[in-house]
Amino acid sequence: MAESEEYNKYNTYSHIALTQIDTTIGKMEQIHHIEILKKIAQYAGTDVINSSDDECYVNLTYLNDKTIGGIKEYIEHALIQDSFINETERKKQEFKKTLFAGNDDDK
């Protein structure tokens, strides 16, 4: 019980919610990691970021609700953007396939 009390001292997010955020971030490309670190530095300062040679670590349990909210907003934006890019690329490939179908001049 004491662990959950200490946990809630910083934010109102459950362990499961923070784990989901962490897992989502872990699957994202490096450019998104950089942008998320910028958000964390903007809201919480750089003292919550632990870094080694080429990696940075952040314990999400020590971030406040505003910081985690900013991270969640960024994640939502990035996922929508990635989905849009993937759909656009799929349509482009479909268009190329349709446009050049039966055209043997490319060979």
Predicted TM-score (pTM) of this structure? 0.75
Band (101; pLDDT cuts 50, 70, 90): confident
pLDDT of residue 2: 44
pLDDT of residue 17: 94
pLDDT of residue 64: 92
Residue 27 confidence (pLDDT) above 90: yes
Residue 8 confidence (pLDDT) above 80: no
CA 29 – CA 77 distance, rounded (Å): 14
**Spatial CB neighbours of 104, under 8 Å, sequence gap ≥ 6:** none
Band (24; pLDDT cuts 50, 70, 90): very high
Phi–psi pair at 13, nearest 5 degrees: -85, 140
Residue 104 confidence (pLDDT) above 70: no
State the average pLDDT for the chain: 86
Average the pLDDT over 51-74 and give the result: 91
Q: pLDDT digits over 37-57, tens only?
A: 999 999 888 888 888 888 889
CA 105 – CA 25 distance, rounded (Å): 45
